[in-house]
Chains A and B, each alone.
Chain A
Amino acid sequence: MPPILVPLTRKAVSLQIISTVVRNVRIERKFLTILNMNENNNIKKKQDEESIINQAATEEYRYGFVSDFETDVIPKGLNEDVVRRISQLKNEPEWLLEFRLKAFRHWQTMTLPKWGKVNMPDIDFQAISYYAAPQTKTSDKKEIDPELKKTFDKLGIPLEEQKRLSGMAVDAVVDSVSVHTSYRERLAELGVIFCSISEAVKDYPDLVKKYMGSVVPYTDNFFAALNSAVFSDGSFVYIPKGVRCPMELSSYFRINAAQTGQFERTLIVADDDSYVSYLEGCTAPMRDENQLHAAIVEIIVEERAEVKYSTVQNWYPGDKDGKGGIYNLVTKRGICRGDHSKLSWTQVETGSAITWKYPSTILKGNNTVGEFYSVALTRNYQMADTGTKMIHLGKNSRSTIVSKGISAGHSENSYRGMVKVAPNATNCRNYTQCDSLLLSDTSGAHTFPVIEVGNDSSIVEHEATTSKINEDQIFYCNQRGISTEDAVGLIVNGYARDVMRKLPMEFAVEAQRLLSVSLEGSVG
């Protein structure tokens, strides 16, 4: 076979490298098809090359398209009437409206926080529309609007169940509304509730009432209060006692309409002895303006239950001059309420102009386990201030934090974390590792960990390093005929492997590709 002699495009090489590193079957297959095509037909080869090159050139942010389905947008601005309007549009019960109004009144007393290591401009909260719903042309909810379906096909998220290969249940949220949730019936057989939060409010008001706001109260912070007042949709998951959720649950968030903000709310409850793995993905069109995304995620883990929450965050990061992009200001918190419970956060952050999020875990039960694995890549003028909080309240609780930051271009990447061991939480253990990799001399990498230990039987360790990419490794790759750009992709993927390993298979592939793509053009 002469594939080695075939002039490979740049893209193909980089794909090959990834495939050898992670033995990614899917990409290898893709690579082989490219080779076959090359062998078969020279003309076709040329065309293919061109298309691959084109693809590579536009690869910068491939989710930047805008879909033109009609959208109902309520007018810009925020006041009590808008809050009432949202509640009314969603036919919400009285108690929820009360909850929103209380949050809104509290929000009015607060000011935009300034402590993050990001250069946050003053956001005009009156210039944003707080509710945008895509209009569905078909009246039957079972059928998906073809235009919407097309959008999700473009994103690579097939909503039609027969097309699913991996057997993953998806809840798709466009702008403010959940448009489709797949696999609901099959999950319902097991008693698993997986639906949009609006539906949950109608169908399971007791559960929602019991848990919503119990981990992140509306008084928590500025954006939590804002979200509590205007949240539009999101996912609700309830895993009953003793049930191991048979498939990955996933929600997919998409901001489509211009000048809107997305305020979704996710609530996950894992009852005793249950298990669920939940994935979250997000994209947005390329626009010159900044859009706001302020979500709340609450997770409740009861006795001996386990929740794994993975995020691949790929909101539009703005262009290479830092224009546009999403402000991703998210409050994520979980509580390991029962003994022996476990909550694991994994996140891959590549998008957003400004990221400000600290997925946290309150380890309330005894012998509970909290984990946080993060890769945050920033380039151009992106700013990320992310990390975690591990609050040890239960005895013998353990937590692990692994954070890998990669900064390129003119970006700023900060890890900010807290490990707190309460005086009564004896025999706790924490290990924190946060490494930063700098790819340019104009980028910044920062670490702000706080450790508070209140007793003499707990052990807390923190380690951090900051360095640039190893020149010997690049030289070695160059020697082997791998271009510097590809070598950097290779090294970065290796560097982030500890975290990537924690992602579910399907997501890991996507995340790895995302890392390589995001790195393109940021070397040298």
Chain B
Amino acid sequence: MNNSLKQYIDLHDENLEAINAHSAPQLIGLRDEARQVLENAVLPRKGSDDYEATDLNAALAPDYGVNINHVDLSRESTTKFRCEVPNLSTCLYYVFNDTFRRSATAGQSGDPASVESFQATKHPEVLAKHYGTVARLENTCTALNTMLAQDGVLIYVPKGVATTKPIQLINVFDANARLMAVRRVLIVLEDDAKAKVLVCDHTKGDQQYLSLETVEIVVGRNAQLDYYHMEESDEHTTRLSQLWVRQEEGSNVLIDGITLTNGYTRNDYHIDVDGQHCDTHLLGMAIATGEQHVDNHTLINHNAPRCQSNEMFKYVLNDNSVGAFAGKILVKPDCPKIDAYQGNRNIVAAPTARMYTKPQLEIYTDDVKCSHGATVGQLDQEALFYMQTRGISLPVAQKLLMQAFMSDVIDGVRLDTLRDRLRHLVEMRLSGDSMICESCELKR
């Protein structure tokens, strides 16, 4: 049996010295453990449990280059990339392939949050304390990431601090060879801290890229975090992302995963709600055309009583695209008064598009209110007809209805300007227009 994992294990074994030499010291400890876990791991193939539509083995099979010696591969200067949100001033940072860079505007005085690379961080104790504590190595992708990770981005918001500006992180792929980037992000919000993080994924050039990303998020007591992720990559990009969140008492977290254009994407969201009185919002949307493949997999673990969670994922699938969603709400024993909802609504707009959905509930406590709903269907024929009788052409009517369909995910965005921007982007996406900002390098 052909096992794609082997090439990565071999790479690790043969280049361990080089990997460690260019790695942040805090990452070395877990590397061996991850290596051990991978020894017996098997990459799930299409059709196996929780991988109904996605073939991880095939996704990891190509021979990607890994930048072990951490050479700066980027060819462009940072200023040329723009991911502007009108009327929104952000602290802007970049990750070029796997190298962290700050923009001229970022990190100006008075900005209390610290956004730094693992290697250059002024808070090595925070990194050492939290690195690898949220992500679990039983997830093969996370283990692979942990085995190969050398650097990453640490976003640290100290106790009681509220960031004034949203933190924006732009991941860019830009290389002249097939490349895999091992990306790692650690976000630590201490008690009563507040932050908004916006992450965008872009690719440049016609190379095949693989983004192997693990994001760990620790949210302290009564802290509040908004985490928006927007993927606008291209058809050559494979993205395997694991996002792990740990919520402590009274915290409020919004995770929003938006896939506008992509190649082959698998996003895993694992949220552990460890404290009481937490609020969790998990939103997502995908608009897929062509051969796009979007697979979102979510797990919300309610480990503490008296919490609320709300989850909604929406897909519009066209052409030969494949959409997949699997979500699970798990309520542990002795966790009463949980109010959880999970929704998945999908529009299949072409006869050749496919949708797989698996909404799940696993409940071990009686005093809870949990429900889920999943639908796969089409646009309402009567609404389309009504609009046509009012002189709106069919394509426009369809676009309007799809835009409206996405509105409850868009409305969930808690940043006004970003919400407007997203609405605009969705509109452009649905009309097939380019979504790249005028002045951006990506607009060739």
Q: Which residues of A contact B (CB under 8 A)?
A: 115, 423, 426, 436, 438-468
Contact = CB atoms under 8 A, between A and B. Distances in A.
Contacts of A438: 363, 365-368
Nearest to B53: A452
B334 interface: yes
A456 B320 CA distance: 11
Contact of B376 (A443, A444, A460): A460
Interface string B351-362: 111111111111
User: Which of A438, A441, A456, A463 lies at the interface centre, i.e. has the most chain B CB atoms within 10 A of its CB?
Assistant: A456
B354 A449 contact: no
Contacts of B369: 465-467
Query: Binding site of A, secondary structure by majority: helix, strand, loop or mixed?
Result: strand
Contacts of A456: 348-351, 353, 378
Contacts of A468: 366-368
B360 A448 contact: yes
Contact of A444 (B363, B371, B375): B363
Given A459-B376, A461-B377, A440 B366 contact: yes
B370 to A, nearest CB: 4
Contacts of B363: 436, 438, 444-446, 466
B361 A444 contact: no
9 contacts: A423-B352, A436-B361, A447-B361, A451-B358, A456-B349, A458-B348, A460-B374, A461-B376, A463-B372
B354 A462 contact: no
A464 B370 CA distance: 8
Nearest to B369: A467
Contacts of A449: 358-360, 374
A455 B371 contact: no
A450 B359 CA distance: 7
A438 B372 CA distance: 16
B360 A462 contact: no
B353 A462 contact: no
Interface residues of B, number: 37
A453 B373 contact: no
B29 interface: no
B344 to A, nearest CB: 9
A466 B370 contact: yes
A451 B350 CA distance: 17
Top 3 closest pairs, chain A to chain B, by CB: A438-B366, A459-B377, A465-B371
Contacts of B353: 456
A461 B344 CA distance: 10
Given A449-B359, A450-B356, A465-B370, A458 B376 contact: yes
Given A436-B363, A459-B378, A464 B371 contact: yes
B351 A423 contact: yes
B365 A461 contact: no
Given A456-B378, A459-B378, A451 B355 contact: yes
Given A456-B350, A461-B377, A466-B363, A448 B358 contact: yes
User: Which of B334, B353, B366 lies at the interface centre, i.e. has the most chain A CB atoms within 10 A of its CB?
Assistant: B366
B358 A450 contact: yes
Given A460-B376, A461-B377, A462-B373, A451 B368 contact: no
A455 B333 contact: no
B368 A466 contact: yes
A54 B158 CA distance: 68
Contacts of A453: 346, 348, 354-356, 376
B441 interface: no
A448 B326 CA distance: 10
B10 interface: no
B352 A467 contact: no
B289 to A, nearest CB: 13
Contacts of A450: 52, 356-358
A462 B342 CA distance: 11
Contacts of B351: 423, 426, 455-457
A16 to B, nearest CB: 28
Given A447-B360, A451-B358, A467 B368 contact: yes
